[in-house]
Structure 1
């Protein structure tokens, strides 16, 4: 609870822990708050009902990990051309300013 900076998630986890202490399930408080995607909630509920909660939580973590990796890869794929274009514009601006200074110096000599 003290490790999580997001207060909504921290409160939800605290409610889930209280629910477990009262002998109820883990999935119900998570479903009520809706902080996790439906797929994750369904996987947690199935793991709870089948008695295989730990492997199911590991699968949920793997799914989220794969989603994050894919999102980062997409972001980097989009960021690379944008950086190349941006650096190209900076270099072009430097070249133009140098050329204008050189051409301006030629006009002074006349």
Structure 2
């Protein structure tokens, strides 16, 4: 949410819409992750968090592109917005790796058959 634009600063409507759309996408993905942390949503979270971080890092190289201009409209200062985007991308990546590496609950094979209940002798 640090990338939500509060000011227009004379940029085109396309760049402003891109900044708002990216912020809304990240918020929606975060809400979906709270309800159901699926692999597809985690992968989308990695990509959605990486895009602003890369745009901040390489924005000077592509100053005519819409994305670097869109992330310059961020609510927070550049250093905070970039740090938040990098932290979110790394956190989503770690969650994705853990989710893929860990088996789903209830699908684990038991090494022994379930124990028989003991019955009292008649």
Q: TM-score range by the shorter chain?
A: 0.3 to 0.5
If you compute each CA radius of gyration, which structure gives the higher value, 1 or 2?
1
Output the TM-score relative to the length of structure 1: 0.34
Greater per-residue helix proportion = 1
Higher relative contact order structure (alpha carbons within 8 Å, sequence separation ≥ 6): 2
